[in-house]
Each structure stands twice: as C-alpha cells, then as structure tokens.
C-alpha cells in the first residue's frame, strides 16, 4: 500500500531528473548559471528595497484651529552678556505678557572660551538675610516678621519687598527704571551689583522652553528686566554699563513645537557677531502649523517656519530703544499635513 502511494507521487513529478550519463557540464553553462543567479538576487533585493521605501505626501489646508497654545524650544548662547542681567520676555497681540521668565529655563555661565562656569535653573538660590531693614526703618529683630520697603513703589500699605528682585518687580509695575540699586538695602545685602561686576566679561547660554498662545507675538532676550511705560518697553538696568551690551549670539536650536522626522529649523546653528555695542537684532518668523503622520498612523502636531533677519544699530535710532535679540512670529493661515506611507508598486503600471 505504501509503495503504491509513493509510486503515484513520483508520477506527479513535473521535473523528472535526467540521468547523469545524458548531460555534460560546460563553461558557458556555468557562466549562464552565475549570471542568472546574480540577476535573481538583484531583482529580489530591488523589490525588497521598493517594498521598504516610503513616500511623503504633503497637502495644504486652511488652518481653522483657535484658542490653542504651543511650545517654543530654544538654546541660545550670548558670548558677551552675563547671566546675571540677561532676561527672557514674551508677549503677544492678545495683550498677554510674561516678563523675566524663569520657569523651565536654565542659564549657564560661560567664559570667553565657551567653557561652562556654572549651570542652574534660573531664579534658584536665595541670599542669606541678616538683620535686614524693615519697612518702618528699623532693623529686623528676633521673633519679628520681616517686611522690607519697596522704596515708594508700594501699591498698597500692606506691600512688602523682601528681596532685590521684589523691589525690581515693584519698580517695574510702577514703570520706573531701577537707577538707585546701590541705595536699596535688599540689593546691597544680596550683592546685586557685586554679582553683576563679578560676571563682567562672561557670556551666558540660556536654554529651555516657553508655553505661549497660538497667536502672533514675540519673545526676546535682553539685558535687564523689561518694564512698560507709555506703550514703550525699557529695561531697568539702562544705567548699568549700557555701553558694554554686545548682542553677538549663536542659536544652537530654535523649534516651534515637537520634533518630527525631516523637519528643518533654518535658524539651528546660526550665529551673528557684532563687534560694537548697543544693537537690536530682529528675526521675523512665519510659522506654518504642521501635522505629521508616520507610516504607523501616529500623529505629531508641530510647526515649521521661515525667517528673515534685520539689525538696528541703536546709535542711529531712539536712545530709549532696548538692546537685545528679538523673535517676532506670526502664523500662516495655511496648515501643512504631512503623511508618510508605503509606495504601492504594481508591475505593468
């Protein structure tokens, strides 16, 4: 029974073997075998590469989204502005302002060679208070609650300014420049000017992120804390060695939103050098909302951007203009959905 089944299977063989006595091997046959094998391997490899290949499909749509926020990620190095006087401010056309932002920002003190001297989150580290001056004029005694004077910038009788930073904030709310810091008890105790003097000749690397409204606005890096007066923005250290403000800078990274494969940020790695002082460097950025969908259907909402640049020498414009590096951004009304998908290839098409 078994032999009968095997015999029937042999009869089904469509490729009967030729007895070795009836064929010969030749050089031409070997060459043909080699060439055909290479051709088969090449075709298999080519088809496999085609199978793995993806294509990027882009479309332009009208952007109708409203009321959202987005994140700006930055890493900027200033070779001649110390961290002690460098501030980050942001504002937009809706009227929202964030001055001297410290949250999610890290500053690194660097020397003239670019080596890091110190790195810490901005705003961390409080001075030691020993017998500070009370608002009523006397010195702080034991078991007494400290309430420092705001030196005329109080908004109510209960206001206290317990640090140089709080005095600066009170001055800023009043629209006053802080020109008398050497006479303010809090600033003298904390060594405000000594700290500035100690860091003279240093630079600063500042990196972090900002969460802002998804409307046109700007953010900027400037020496001193910005204050607002008569619709004009000034800095509160305009009297402190203003002639030494050199805004030469390098943008290590600037991104509007999350990273996605293939994104190109045109300002990454860009640097600008200005040998003289008192300048205002401006970047005008057009942000294009982008939705990236990968081959597995995962979606990343981000942005791309284009940019133009402009420099103003403050010697030839208003003397009250603020030196610094300003990024003005606006949004394109067009959204750019990007989808990555497999390339479908049909033989004969």
Q: Domains (ranges, CATH) in the chain?
A: 61-125+202-341 (2.60.470)
Structure tokens at 202: 């240093």
CB 108 within 8 A of CB 118: yes
DSSP 257: B
For 227-272, how does the pLDDT look when each residue is reduced to its tens digit (9 = 90+)? 444 344 445 444 444 455 788 899 999 999 998 888 889 999 998 8
Half-sphere exposure at residue 310, Cβ-oriented, CA atoms within 13 angstroms: 9
For 43-54, how does the pLDDT look when each residue is reduced to its tens digit (9 = 90+)? 999 888 887 777
CB 330 within 8 A of CB 286: yes
Spell out where 64-181 has E strands. Answer: 69-78, 86-92, 97-98, 105-110, 116-121
For 185-243, how does the pLDDT look when each residue is reduced to its tens digit (9 = 90+)? 777 777 766 777 777 778 899 999 999 999 999 999 988 655 444 344 445 444 444 45
The pLDDT mean for the chain works out to 77
């Amino acid at each position: 029974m078994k032999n009968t089944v095997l015999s029937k299977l042999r009869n089904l063989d469509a490729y009967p073997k030729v007895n070795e006595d009836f064929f010969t091997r030749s050089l031409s046959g070997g060459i043909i075998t080699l060439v055909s094998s290479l051709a088969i391997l090449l075709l298999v490899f080519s088809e496999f590469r085609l199978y793995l290949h993806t294509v990027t499909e882009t479309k332009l749509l009208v952007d109708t989204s409203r009321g959202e926020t987005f994140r700006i990620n930055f890493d900027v190095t200033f070779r001649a502005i110390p961290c002690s006087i460098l501030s980050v401010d942001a504002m937009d056309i809706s009227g929202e302002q964030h001055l001297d932002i410290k949250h999610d920002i890290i500053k690194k003190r660097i020397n003239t060679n670019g080596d890091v001297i110190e790195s810490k989150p901005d705003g961390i580290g409080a001075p030691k208070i020993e017998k500070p001056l009370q608002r009523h004029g006397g010195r702080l005694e034991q078991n007494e609650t400290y309430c420092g004077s705001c030196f005329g910038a109080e908004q109510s009788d209960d206001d206290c300014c317990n640090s140089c930073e709080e005095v600066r904030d009170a001055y800023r709310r009043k629209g006053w420049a802080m020109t008398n810091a050497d006479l303010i008890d809090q600033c003298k105790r904390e060594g405000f000017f000594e700290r500035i003097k100690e860091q003279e000749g240093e630079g600063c690397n500042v990196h972090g992120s900002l969460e802002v409204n998804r409307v046109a606005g700007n953010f900027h890096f400037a020496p001193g804390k910005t204050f607002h007066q008569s619709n004009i923005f000034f800095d509160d250290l305009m009297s402190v060695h203003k002639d030494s403000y050199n805004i030469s800078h390098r943008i290590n990274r600037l991104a509007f939103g999350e990273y996605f494969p293939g994104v190109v940020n045109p300002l990454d790695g860009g640097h600008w050098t200005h040998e003289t002082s008192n300048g205002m460097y401006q970047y005008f950025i057009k942000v294009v909302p982008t939705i990236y969908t990968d081959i597995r259907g995962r979606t990343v909402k981000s942005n791309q951007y284009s940019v133009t640049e402009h420099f103003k020498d403050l010697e030839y414009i208003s003397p009250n203009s603020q030196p610094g590096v300003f990024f003005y951004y606006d949004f394109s009304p067009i959204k750019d959905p990007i989808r990555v998908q497999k390339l479908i290839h049909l033989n004969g098409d």
